[in-house]
Amino acid sequence: METTVKNKYETKYGEVFTIPNILSMVRICLIPIIVWLYCGVKDYTLTGIILILSGITDLVDGFIARRFNMVSDLGKILDPIADKLTQSTMLICLFFRFPLMLLPFFLIFAKEVFMSITGALVIKKTGEVNSADWHGKVATCMLYAMMILHVFWFDIPSDISAISIIACFVMIGISFLLYGIKNIKKIKAYNK
């Protein structure tokens, strides 16, 4: 009996402190550094480097989780939280120089509120925690590319800035729609 309890604790401990989960926690810890570098020190090059590092850890944690079977329910929740906090924070920082950044910011906010509600219903009804789909990954890559472009290219022409922000906004909107359809279908299928 004691062995069973011990193994349960080891399993739970192991699910929390996986390499992907630690990388997600590192991304969360990088957020105040990004704000300090961008808004306080105004070192845009270093801000961009830290943002790229954050984006790389996002890609690496997903690869490690799938490749080495380290996918956990905590990771499926922690990873998008780290992503959205980083993205929202950077968009707010960029907003003061590029007001159009409000478009992707508010769309991400609306998407996350909707996804939190429908995702919670899916978890409650099916017990499944959804992982990211291809369109979510594409939207995330486009968002990081757009933010990094604006961080490094201090005097980016307004038309290039607007095109990159709107393209990103459209991809986030497509992803929002596809995730919404998926979650609503799962909820309806369970209710039948």
pLDDT digits (tens, 9 = 90+) for 103-134: 999 999 999 899 889 888 888 877 776 777 89
Residues 6 or more apart whose CB falls under 8 angstroms from that of 189 comprise none
The residue type at 75:
G
pLDDT digits (tens, 9 = 90+) for 134-172: 999 899 999 999 999 999 998 999 999 999 999 999 999
- Residue 176 pLDDT > 80: yes
Query: Domain 2-191 in CATH: superfamily?
Result: CDP-alcohol phosphotransferase transmembrane (TM) domain (1.20.120.1760)
pLDDT digits (tens, 9 = 90+) for 83-101: 999 999 999 999 999 999 9
pLDDT digits (tens, 9 = 90+) for 22-53: 999 999 999 999 999 999 999 999 999 999 99
Torsion angle, alpha carbons of 191, 187, 185, 130, to 10: -140
The DSSP string of 82-111 is: HHHHHHHHHHHHHHTT-GGGHHHHHHHHHH
pLDDT, mean over the chain: 88
pTM of the model: 0.84
**Cβ–Cβ < 8 Å for 129, 77:** yes
